Amino acid sequence: MIDGPPRGGHTGLHGDDAELQPDPFLGQDSFIRSARVSAGAREAGTRLNRQRARGITAALEAHASGQSTQVDGWFAAAARVAAELDVPLVSLEALGIGFDDEDHLTSRFLRPLTGGAEAKPFADDQRGVVYKLFDLRDSGALGKKILLQFGNPWEADVRMVDAVLFETMEKLAVLHDAGAHPTEIIGLADTGDYLIVKQPMAQPHGPDLDEDRRVAVAAMKALPVRGGIRGGDLRVFWVAGKAWLLGDLHRGNVMRDEDGVPTIIDALIGQVPTSALGSLPALSKAVQEAREMREGTRTRASDLFDGVNDDEL
């Protein structure tokens, strides 16, 4: 999905897209300005996320090629590329964020929320949005992804393995595109130690978690995989010309938006390996139907007994 840096500086996103307006703290273009995101703003966000993800990748590649381990060296290399690609380098001070006496992240005017496994969130209660800081760990790991591991050619196990920054940015952009909770890739902290994103504020799921999960997954046009994969409640969806695995749909990743509509937030994904489709008929079928759902030629998943004569049941 993120396929190389754009050529030239600006991408035409600035000033000529009515769905983009300045972030009140950072001044840069943003499509998330409140707890509600319109369909037009979501579409603008797709383009903005892709631009920024490509630029961040290029900026980090510039750092790697310079082989500098000093913050000043990182900033010099990244800043040059960021300026060329119009990718924001964000001052945490602009968000009032710093460290307290115990070296914990805090903010002078944003409300800290309980963090998850990947990010530390801060809420702007006045506008109904949340800023999330993903720590770029020294190991290079950032979050998790889904991987299929084959013990034999006809059956696979679900594994949750470390992801890297590129893969986590791709996850955020793909979930946004697929119809999960809107997510904006803001940029990198100018100190080089955090990826910063923004989402509309979400609320806890309703009393029936299973029903909320069903509605939220349906919004992503994600379908269950019925057989051949062990170790997780796995689904597949199609977006950006690729098939994706969707999992980790626990209660913390199923929430409701401002209008009370169930939504998937911060789930895990992984690309469906093409090599697995020939080995796992149930996965291949789910992928084909998920693609048809995305393309509008199918309205629901096939039933387990579709095509089976009633006399044979």
pLDDT digits (tens, 9 = 90+) for 253-267: 999 999 999 999 989
114 or 96: which leads in pLDDT: 96
Q: Is the pLDDT of residue 10 over 70?
A: no
Q: Is the pLDDT of residue 313 over 50?
A: no
Residue percentage of the chain with pLDDT more than 70: 82
Specify the pLDDT at position 113: 93
In this structure, are strands 184-189 and 194-200 parallel, antiparallel, or unpaired? antiparallel
Q: Is the pLDDT of residue 178 over 60?
A: yes
User: Band of the pLDDT at 23, cuts 50, 70, 90?
Assistant: very high
Q: What is the pTM of this model?
A: 0.86
* C-beta neighbour count of 56 within 10 angstroms: 27
Specify the pLDDT at position 86: 66
Span 88-105, pLDDT tens digits = 788 999 999 998 888 889
CA distance 247 to 269: 6
Specify the pLDDT at position 174: 97
Residue in this structure with the two tokens 């994904």, named with its chain if needed: 269
Residues 213-239 have a mean pLDDT of 93
The vertex-29 CA angle with 11 and 133, nearest 5°, equals 110
Domain boundaries, the chain: 21-97+106-139+172-201
Task: Kindly report the average pLDDT of the chain as a whole number.
Answer: 84
CA distance 57 to 99: 27
CA distance 136 to 74: 13
